[in-house]
Structure 1
């Protein structure tokens, strides 16, 4: 049987879905849980909508509308293949039943009216939903809801999620990424543009007691991923292409947490034929092979697959002829053995080993300009230092 790396090395475009309107694809999610696997792929678009596609053919099968500002992400429930969570800068988190495309969200989650969400995640038990806010005056907040306990219905008739509480002292700028542990429902990591990455044990009580580790990535954190054989390592990528890999299994140990650290990880790998690694799309832990897959790219759409370990980065494969602009998101579909990618050209691509391309949508110019002015914020390279000791 071919190894996963053999599969990566033989990836080519299987299907290409062209945009029907000018927009960016910002995030995507596929469902995979113990209770079943959905044949639906959810895509977050820059026009504030969420598109539902066939996981195999990429054809559009539905659309979810309700958010009134940029959507910061989409995520399927861990326990039900039919439930999809979304978060938005409009100050709402929503849960949708994808069996009813076109209907309103089944649940809506809100906190303070000044909160604008820019990241979120759901615990592996599906019980706790956490969102990170943009900075509000001098503070930024981690907001928690119990996704299973409901309050009164809102004006739209959707059920309102029960607010559990707020953490307000751990970050001082936009909280750009939050990530629950894949197996421990009470363990949460958060990263922000203040350069701090915090690890919490929510079972310990209030914010001060729950904060068990603070690491400094010396830049603006863009994404986090739990990795390692026992999922006790934390991968952090930054907005200026820095990379950190920390061992957070024993946060109270005197040993250093840092396994790999680079303020600019681009020179860590040599790409063939003079290709350039201009940005990271993200990273994911491949549990079957116990390794980290990093996906990087160039601004004209070329993708680079990399293996990441404590020893550095290793080149696997470049994917060409697909995207024509910056790629924003990817997912490895372990069941379908395919790589799914979306980006600023509005294209949704499916890559499979040894595939021949099937065009799903219209064959217009691959280069599209978003019709929506995306909200952006310049990220500082120098992190704001907070008045607490940091473990590095």
Structure 2
């Protein structure tokens, strides 16, 4: 195990309990969304100085955010009122909201963005027996260009684009399914080109590389699947089972593919032990957990859950955010 040192941190300075819900890893430094309805951006070398940008969002209750263009600090947020806002964090606060995308008032639970495909996608809560996937072309009107109503039968909890093809979209739902859709297809009967069934409510799912995906359930089950020809359709290529048993943790925050293609990182926490560690998922003949070389955040966010983490490999820094209202910066001792 390799422990990191907490070198900096910032706590949302309000009396009521505030969760930092997610981190968006902009090239310029981390941005966060929090339960006090704020979108904030930080100087990565001076978290304690507070947000350099601190914007109030207007979604009723903010639920999710994604980077649209990480290099140019363009971020999308969404929430319970069914709206999506695009923010250019290079602008001053009154001009930062550069677009507002709307359809109906169904709460949005998930987002995906593709700057190369000029696309923003939102997944909704199940309402009136319908859960939707809405796709906007940001170059056109604020109304969606596509509206899929039958891809999932329950809340759409996760959306992610393919790493190299902006037409291919992954969606996950509390119906237990991870679907791969070709968004060039408008016919709902044809749009799903592959389905993986974890048989448990999907918390997170994404591409690990051009053909392989992971699915993580709300009860911490983790399985990997392969879209490639020759793989058994729909069956897991690796099923790790309940990660609480496998890793001795209490929850999995998320799984992130490494940008260089060298596997992925699993963020695992145990709040009663004030512990959080990042375990490398390595790809060789198969996928394996490298538990011996895990990276540990000692003390983590005390007894509170770590909601999000991200890593800046070149800067050798990790950022974490939690239900204690903190964003923290970590780095190796040497």
Partner deviation per Cα, 1:356-390 (whole Å, 9 max, x = no partner): xxxxxxxxxxxxxxxxxxxxxxxxxxxxxxxxxxx
Q: Of 17, 26, 31, which residue of structure 1 is paired with 2:26?
A: 31
How far the C-alpha of 1:338 sits from its partner, in A, is 1.0
Kindly indicate which of the two structures has a greater share of residues assigned to strand.
2
1: distance between equivalents of 2:195 and 2:2?
Answer: 37
How far the C-alpha of 1:254 sits from its partner, in A, is 4.3
Check if 1:290 corresponds to 2:262. Answer: yes
How far the C-alpha of 1:55 sits from its partner, in A, is 2.3
2: distance between equivalents of 1:141 and 1:191?
Answer: 12
The aligned residue for residue 17 of structure 1 is 10
2: distance between equivalents of 1:289 and 1:100?
Answer: 33
| SS of residue paired to 1:267 | helix
Q: Of 176, 190, 197, which residue of structure 2 is paired with 1:195?
A: 176
Structure 1 stretch displaced more, 73-82 or 327-336:
73-82
| SS of residue paired to 2:329 | strand
TM-score, normalised on structure 2? 0.90
| SS of residue paired to 1:209 | coil
The aligned residue for residue 89 of structure 1 is 80
Q: 1:56 to 1:75 in 2, by over 3 A?
A: farther
Q: Count how many residue pairs are aligned between Structure 1 and Structure 2.
A: 322
Q: 1:210 to 1:68 in 2, by over 3 A?
A: closer
Q: 1:166 to 1:187 in 2, by over 3 A?
A: same
Q: Of 191, 201, 215, which residue of structure 2 is paired with 1:210?
A: 191
Q: Is the 8 A contact 2:255 2:264 kept in 1?
A: yes
Q: Of 223, 226, 230, which residue of structure 2 is paired with 1:247?
A: 226
Q: 1:264 to 1:23 in 2, by over 3 A?
A: same
Higher relative CO (CA 8 A, sep ≥ 6), structure 1 or 2? Answer: 1
Q: Of 242, 253, 256, which residue of structure 2 is paired with 1:264?
A: 242
2: distance between equivalents of 1:303 and 1:348?
Answer: 14
How far the C-alpha of 1:261 sits from its partner, in A, is 1.4
* Bigger-Rg structure (1/2): 1
Q: 1:23 to 1:66 in 2, by over 3 A?
A: same
TM-score, normalised on structure 1? 0.77
Partner deviation per Cα, 1:147-177 (whole Å, 9 max, x = no partner): 122x3xxxxxxxxx24202111111111111
Give ranges in structure 1 of 5+ residues lacking alignment.
Answer: 1-7, 33-38, 152-160, 270-275, 356-392
The aligned residue for residue 153 of structure 2 is 172
Q: Is the 8 A contact 1:65 1:102 kept in 2?
A: no
Q: Is the 8 A contact 1:268 1:313 kept in 2?
A: no
Structure 1 stretch displaced more, 89-98 or 258-267:
258-267
Partner deviation per Cα, 1:8-44 (whole Å, 9 max, x = no partner): 8252212122231231000111224xxxxxx242100
2: distance between equivalents of 1:173 and 1:120?
Answer: 16
Partner deviation per Cα, 1:318-357 (whole Å, 9 max, x = no partner): 32123111000111123322111001001111111117xx
How far the C-alpha of 1:253 sits from its partner, in A, is 5.2
Q: 1:227 to 1:197 in 2, by over 3 A?
A: same
The aligned residue for residue 109 of structure 1 is 101
The aligned residue for residue 55 of structure 1 is 44
| SS of residue paired to 2:245 | helix
The aligned residue for residue 328 of structure 2 is 349
| SS of residue paired to 1:199 | strand
How far the C-alpha of 1:178 sits from its partner, in A, is 0.6
How far the C-alpha of 1:225 sits from its partner, in A, is 2.2
Give ranges in structure 2 of 5+ residues lacking alignment.
Answer: none
Check if 1:306 corresponds to 2:299. Answer: no
Q: Of 35, 57, 64, which residue of structure 2 is paired with 1:73?
A: 64
Partner deviation per Cα, 1:25-75 (whole Å, 9 max, x = no partner): 00111224xxxxxx2421000011111211222231121113242222222
After superposing on structure 2, the runs of 4+ consecutive aligned residues of structure 1 that deviate more than 3 Å are 252-257, 309-312
1: distance between equivalents of 2:122 and 2:233?
Answer: 31
How far the C-alpha of 1:262 sits from its partner, in A, is 3.9
Pairwise CA RMSD: 2.0
